[in-house]
A and B are shown apart, each in its own frame.
Chain A
Amino acid sequence: MELIKPGTNIPFTKYRRVAVVISSVVNLAVLAVLFIKGPNLGVDFAGGTVVQLRFAQKVSIPDVRQALGQLGTGDTVIQDFGQQGSNEFLVRLEKTSVELGALGEQLRSSLTQRFGPKGFEIRRIESVGPKVGSELRQKGTWSIIAATIMMGIYIWFRFQLRFGVGAVIALIHDVLVTVGALMLAGYEFDLTILAALLTVVGYSVNDTVIVCDRVRENMRKVKRESLESIINTSINETLSRTIITTGTALLVLFALFLLGGGVIRPFAFALLVGFFSGVYSTIFIATPVVLLWEKGTRKRLIPEVRSQKPAVRDQKSEVRLRKSETK
């Protein structure tokens, strides 16, 4: 079976201006919302308490709110959680067990009054103090920035600086798109989301690596063509593997999203969006950056490319190849 027929030649680079405009608009919009409204932070980052409750019988949100009313904990958000009909709720309290003392005990006694001792189950309590929250927020942001820069440096080291820069810009795009999608879908940002964003950074760059690898190879092979056409050929030649590698990851992510349960769902969602965006950004963001760079310094860069270190490495692998053929 072949998804992309060999010899396919979609003029991707032609669409790059449109794509760059659309992506920039999307990214700026996400940035604007991030700065104006800020992301919807979960307790990990904002501090506060989240309690997962399950009731033995059908219970409505107002029922739960009424029962908890006596706690007097300020702003309380109650939402449905888990599968439909499982009578599970997520209660978000502003305060933490530091301020509330025996929070669990208080919850238990107010719920017992209303639903009886066997009528409910406290399945999970997560309480994070405001200090820890802001610390995690800071460290989390830095870890994403550090990871992105590290990817850029790695690509620079393995290929060339302009590919590294292209990869970094593509990654910023992927992270922003993912963040935007999470905000649109109304998911809270917590540590698992952060893990997802870091994974997006680590995995989305893979497609860029695959394309860069091919561009390098084709630069050696085809000497007369313009960089734009080499890049376009390379994207087309690697298109099926880019789609399939990401596609298999998306398959398992769909399974996780649908079946993995409430805690994992936002995580799977972030990865779905991020990985998908990774394919797009490789084709439409990373390569235009490389091309843009090339435009500015065309005369200087093209001849230089051939004498780059990578070419030497490839010669080596060719030697190895011939050796193994003669075995």
Chain B
Amino acid sequence: MQRSVAIRSGLFILATLVALVYLTPTFISNLPSWWSEYLPADRIHLGLDLQGGSHLVLEVKVDKAIENNIERIKTDLINLLRERGISGVSVERVKGTQIEVKSPAANVERVRGLLKSDFANLEIIDTQTSGGTTDFFLTLSKEEMRSLRDYAVDQSLETIRNRIDQFGVSEPTIVREGQQEILIQLPGIQDPERAKEIIGKTALLEFKLVDDNANIEDAVRNPPPGDEVLYGRDGKTPYVLQARALMTGEYIIDARVRPGQQLQGPYVELILNARGARLFEQITAANVKRHLAIVLDNRVYSAPVIQERIGGGRASITGSFDIKEARDLAIILRAGALPAPVEIAEERTVGPSLGSDSIQQGIISFVVGSSLVIIFMIVYYKGAGVLADVALIFHILFLLAILAAFKAVLTLPGIAGIVLIAGMAVDANVLINERIREELRLGRSVRAAIEAGYERALPAIIDTNVTTFLSGVILFQFGTGPIKGFAVTLCVGILTTVVTAVYMTRIYYDWRMSTRKLEHISI
């Protein structure tokens, strides 16, 4: 008996020491350097609701990515038909993700052959022949679509990660969630609106020619074929542009902010790769004296006149930016375009002052709540109550240590969970103590009453904790950020209460019983 008590107390002392080691970084801020070298140096992680920051869920519009892809295939198909001299064939994108090819009877076989040889990833889902023309309806295979969707989400994630890294946020979390969502957590961010601007921009950069022949007023009402009307950054100035983009931003390898001359604001200089440089040179050479519009996400940033052929792969975007805007623009151009537009499906932003208020309120209610419980237990159970209170304090120690050790995130509901668990932690002691009292009333010896108290209360203690634990698990499965924090404290707290309230208090009684004859118990 004595040996078992010694072993069990030893284990508990060891566990306590380990717990203290894990908790030291949380409570002592300037630790010596040898500490972090050999010992755990992680503090308890605070959730965004406590330290302030932004939690964003972006939905990637993957269908748009597929439409873009179909549109590209359509363009390729048209070009190839022209190259091969197959005439009289019309190609349209229909129903979002289908391509309709209308071919006169004379060319049907050539078209079919071309589709088979050069567009093997397209499936012919329907063929209709009437009045000398044959209609092919084509679309991408299911697997192709799925991989396109996956690619769009993964690529968006990479691009966003790139942008956030350049924006400079410490310890951001950027993960894919579900089919088409991206979860972003930006702790301690000062200017969430600006971050959102940077993250959410598709950043599709296009170079388009201005249609100088078009009358703007007429075109706004009814754009000439092949043209489109886009507006400037103010959203008001209309530009009539040729709808076909001469070049897109895919050739950009770098983008930098350059100080403007004299009265002009800063501008963004683009550096293109070799292919882009060649293309840009061709475009500028062919269109000297015409206006070339620089379009970002369907907004015309500027439409300067091409003075001469521009070689060397450098282009610039001007447009009366302030320095912050220019820097943000450079970031998104460097990081590249998103393959599909994104939408903010969920946003939760907490300012730092609210976070620290919440922590303070959490601590106050914890202190008041657990003090009430501690006092009640002493008043009601006297000695046994003190024992339960000691167990409660150890439970809190272990709970916090486990949170620190497993890098769990403490949230506001999580703190509420810790407070709540303090009220539940003594439940096991109540069950044990009530049983001991009952056994004593039946006239059992103190020793037998304690033994019976623990033995007979145990099944109910286990059952009650299992049920609460189960609901915690379900909550964890379901919950998002802050709620997960609550579920975690609930589940971990239940484990630690069972250990401290049942096994730890038992060590005390066993020790008492092993050292002397226990004739009286304060309960």
Contacts and interface: CB of A to CB of B under 8 A. Distances in A.
20 contacts: A96-B344, A97-B347, A98-B345, A102-B197, A108-B193, A129-B59, A146-B474, A151-B471, A199-B420, A209-B463, A241-B434, A249-B423, A251-B376, A252-B365, A252-B423, A255-B419, A260-B361, A264-B365, A317-B458, A321-B451
Interface residues of A, number: 79
B78 to A, nearest CB: 35
Contacts, number: 235
Q: How large is the interface on B (under 10, 10 to 19, 20 to 34, 35 or more residues)?
A: 35 or more
Closest 7 CB pairs of A and B: A202-B471, A255-B369, A252-B369, A252-B423, A206-B464, A249-B423, A261-B361
A147 B474 contact: yes
A192 B351 contact: no
A324 interface: yes
Contacts of B217: none
A240 interface: yes
Contacts of A313: 459
Contacts of B416: 256, 260, 264, 267-268
A79 interface: no
Interface stretch (A26-34, A63-71, A116-124): A116-124
B347 A127 contact: yes
Interface string B489-504: 0100000000000000
B305 interface: no
Contacts of B438: 6, 237
A122 B412 CA distance: 18
Interface stretch (B37-45, B63-71, B478-486): B478-486
A256 B420 contact: yes
B425 to A, nearest CB: 8
Given A199-B490, A259-B365, A261-B361, A252 B372 contact: yes
B349 A195 contact: no
Contact of B1 (A105, A194, A217, A327): A327
A206 B451 contact: no
Given A104-B349, A199-B490, A256-B420, A139 B193 contact: no
A259 B364 contact: yes
Contact of B196 (A102, A198, A201, A255): A102
A248 interface: yes
A197 B464 CA distance: 17
B344 A202 contact: no
B165 interface: no
Main secondary structure on A side of the interface with B: helix
Contacts of A147: 470-471, 474
A129 B475 contact: no
Interface in A225-250: 237, 240-241, 244-245, 247-250
A19 B218 CA distance: 78
B346 A255 contact: no
Interface in B406-424: 412-413, 416, 419-420, 422-424
Interface string B436-469: 0110010000001001100110111001101111
A55 interface: no
Contacts of A209: 460, 463-464, 467
Interface in A245-287: 245, 247-256, 258-261, 263-264, 267-268, 271
A203 B391 CA distance: 21
B482 A260 contact: no
Q: Which of A124, A203, A251 counts the most chain B CB atoms within 10 A?
A: A251
